[in-house]
């Protein structure tokens, strides 16, 4: 745990409860806005997840428009088109509904409504000069935690690079957590988003920038995910496991908003930018290989992770206990039919030089628990491609 000075700041108001999204209009009205832009994707809209929310806006006498052009790895062009629509219809708040892509896009649109240029101009930390419009985030997956984070991720199509924009201004004003909205999630999305949340918790817990607050959130998130993700995957309609996963995802997001992440995210963003791989699947598949790489840098923390995931480590050495954490992640991936190598994600090793360059550009490498150079990133990618957890 870090002994350097740290701070905790998370200004997002969180509302959680079964069916609570039907009160969205009431919550938004209290923010003093009159017209909102709903930012979402066509899948969420087709699943009728907006219906109750739209009714609540109408009851609250709030005008709204819908922008449903969000894609799997949202591009700067998608952000721009949404911003242009917002300005035309004169919305004074953004209501982002969906997975991390929709929430990230909504956050970016709210930022660009009050700032000049392109979202790409604000890559990095603390570069946004003006406060965005109010952002209300309603997650429909239990994965990214974007509803409580200070970042948005956008793809630069010209360079095939996924970049991060981080600022305290990017924290949503409000997050509305309604597990009912996640009941109809397909198994594949439940698995990918759930393992995304677990990756956030593990990388936050082991980050060089971790602090007591972030580690408390991350530990609780890991415990809840270990107890509930496979239930949510195999049963699906169990509202209790869905609610706990949604809360765990939020806790993991609140954790990494303080601590950043690590090599899994550095590499997965590169894979997403180049190969358009879904973020959660990329994280889940890479996670065991990065954990193996990091094992000897923080074995005590990996032992803690093993315990949080439900392992009995009595009588084991620190390293043996730490390895249980990796075993647990592999077992979860196997149980939920997540690929055990990135070759199955259509990764092409001929592009390793670009993947290495893009991954090293990520600030997450700097807080990864084990010192990492370009050769290390290449090794991890090659090991993950062949599904080889030995020989680090």
Report the distance separating Cα 209 and Cα 290, nearest Å: 18
pLDDT band for position 316 (cuts 50, 70, 90):
very high
- For the entire predicted model, the pTM comes to 0.95
Q: Which two tokens stand for residue 364?
A: 């997450």
Place of tokens 């196997």: 334
Closest CA to 282 of 196, 359, 214: 196
4 pLDDT higher than 80: no
| Contact predicate 341/277, CB 8 Å | no
**How does the average pLDDT of the chain come out, rounded?**
95
What architecture does CATH give domain 187-386? Up-down Bundle (1.20)
> Where in the chain are the domains?
13-182, 187-386
Query: What is the distance between the alpha carbons of residues 164 and 285, in angstroms, rounded to a whole number?
Result: 21
CA distance linking residue 369 with residue 381, whole number of Å: 18
CA dist 261 and 256 (Å) reads: 6
Tokens of 44: 């969420």
Arithmetic mean of pLDDT, 34-59: 96
Task: Work out the percent of the chain whose per-residue pLDDT is above 70.
Answer: 99
Helix, strand or coil for residue 165?
strand
Please provide residue 127's backbone torsions phi and psi, each rounded to the nearest 5 degrees: -100, -5
Check residue 261 and give its pLDDT. Answer: 95
The pLDDT score that the predictor gives to residue 273 is 87
R_g of the chain, CA atoms, integer Å: 20
Question: Over the stretch 196-211, which tens digit does the pLDDT of each residue have?
Answer: 999 999 999 999 999 9
At 8 the pLDDT is 87
pLDDT at 250 over 90: yes
Mean pLDDT of 9-17: 95
Find the mean pLDDT for residues 324-340.
Answer: 96
Lookup: tokens for 385: 């491609």
DSSP letter for each residue of 242-290: HHHHHHHHHHHHHHHHHH---HHHHHHHHHHHHH---HHHHHHHHHHHH
Tens of pLDDT, residue by residue over 202-239, are 999 999 999 999 999 999 999 999 999 999 999 989 99
Q: What is the pLDDT of residue 3?
A: 58
* pLDDT category of residue 1 using cuts at 50, 70 and 90: very low
The pLDDT of residue 163:
86
pLDDT over 60 (residue 2): no
C-alpha to C-alpha distances, 99 to 4, 71, 122, 143, 209, nearest whole angstrom: 34, 10, 23, 8, 26
Q: How far apart are the first and last CA of the chain?
A: 25
CB of 274 closer than 8 Å to CB of 355: yes
Q: At 50, list the tokens.
A: 């907006």
Please compute the mean of the pLDDT values over residues 162-185 and round it to a whole number: 94
> Helices in the chain by DSSP H: which ranges?
24-29, 42-46, 51-59, 76-89, 100-112, 187-206, 212-234, 239-259, 263-275, 279-294, 299-308, 318-335, 352-360, 364-367, 374-386
Model confidence over 351-378: pLDDT tens digits?
999 999 999 998 999 999 999 999 999 9
Per CATH, 13-182 and 187-386 having the same topology is answered no
Sorted by sequence, the CB contacts under 8 Å of residue 326 that are 6+ apart come out as 288, 291, 292, 295, 302, 389
Question: Does residue 67 surpass a pLDDT of 60?
Answer: yes
Q: pLDDT-derived band of residue 392, with 50, 70 and 90 as boundaries?
A: confident
Phi, psi for 162 (deg, rounded to 5): -90, 120
Alpha-carbon gap, residue 9 to 195, rounded angstroms: 25
- Rounded to an integer, the average pLDDT of 342-350 is 94
Residue 159: pLDDT over 90: no
Of the candidates 267, 244, 266, 145, the residue with the CA atom closest to the CA atom of residue 197? 145
Q: Domain 13-182 belongs to what topology?
A: Rossmann fold (3.40.50)
């Amino acid at each position: 745990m870090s002994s350097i000075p740290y701070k905790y700041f998370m200004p997002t108001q969180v509302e959680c409860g079964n069916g609570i999204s039907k009160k969205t209009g009431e919550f938004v009205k209290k923010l003093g806005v009159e017209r909102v832009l709903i930012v979402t994707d066509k899948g969420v809209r087709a699943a009728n997840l907006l219906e109750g929310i739209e009714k609540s806006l109408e009851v609250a006498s709030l005008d709204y428009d819908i922008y449903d052009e969000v894609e799997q790895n949202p591009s700067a062009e998608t952000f721009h088109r949404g911003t242009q629509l917002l300005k035309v219809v004169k919305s004074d708040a953004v209501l982002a509904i969906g997975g991390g892509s929709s929430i990230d896009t909504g956050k970016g649109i709210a930022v660009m409504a009050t700032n000049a240029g392109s979202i790409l101009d604000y890559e990095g930390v603390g570069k946004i000069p003006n406060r965005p419009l109010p952002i209300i985030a309603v997650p429909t997956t239990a994965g990214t935690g974007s509803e409580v984070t200070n970042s948005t991720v956008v793809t630069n199509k010209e360079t095939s690079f996924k970049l991060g924009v981080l600022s305290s201004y990017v924290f949503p004003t409000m997050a509305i957590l309604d597990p009912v909205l996640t009941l109809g999630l397909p198994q594949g999305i439940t698995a990918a988003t759930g393992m995304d949340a677990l990756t956030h918790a593990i990388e936050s817990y082991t980050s060089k920038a971790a602090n007591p607050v972030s580690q408390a959130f991350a530990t609780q998130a890991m415990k809840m995910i270990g107890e509930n993700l496979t239930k949510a995957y195999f049963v699906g309609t169990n509202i209790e496991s869905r609610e706990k996963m949604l809360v765990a995802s939020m806790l993991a997001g609140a954790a990494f908003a303080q601590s950043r992440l690590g090599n899994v995210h550095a590499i997965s963003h590169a894979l997403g930018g180049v190969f358009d791989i879904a973020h959660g699947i990329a994280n889940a598949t890479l996670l065991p290989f990065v954990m193996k790489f990091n094992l000897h840098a923080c074995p005590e923390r990996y032992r803690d992770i093993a315990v949080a995931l439900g392992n009995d480590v009595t009588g084991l050495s620190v390293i043996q206990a730490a390895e249980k954490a990796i075993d647990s992640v592999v077992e979860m991936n196997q149980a939920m039919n997540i690929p055990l190598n990135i070759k199955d994600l259509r990764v092409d090793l001929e592009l390793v030089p670009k993947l290495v360059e893009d991954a090293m550009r990520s600030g997450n490498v700097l807080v990864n628990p084990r010192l990492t150079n370009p050769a290390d990133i290449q090794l991890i990618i090659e090991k993950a491609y062949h599904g080889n957890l030995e020989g680090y």
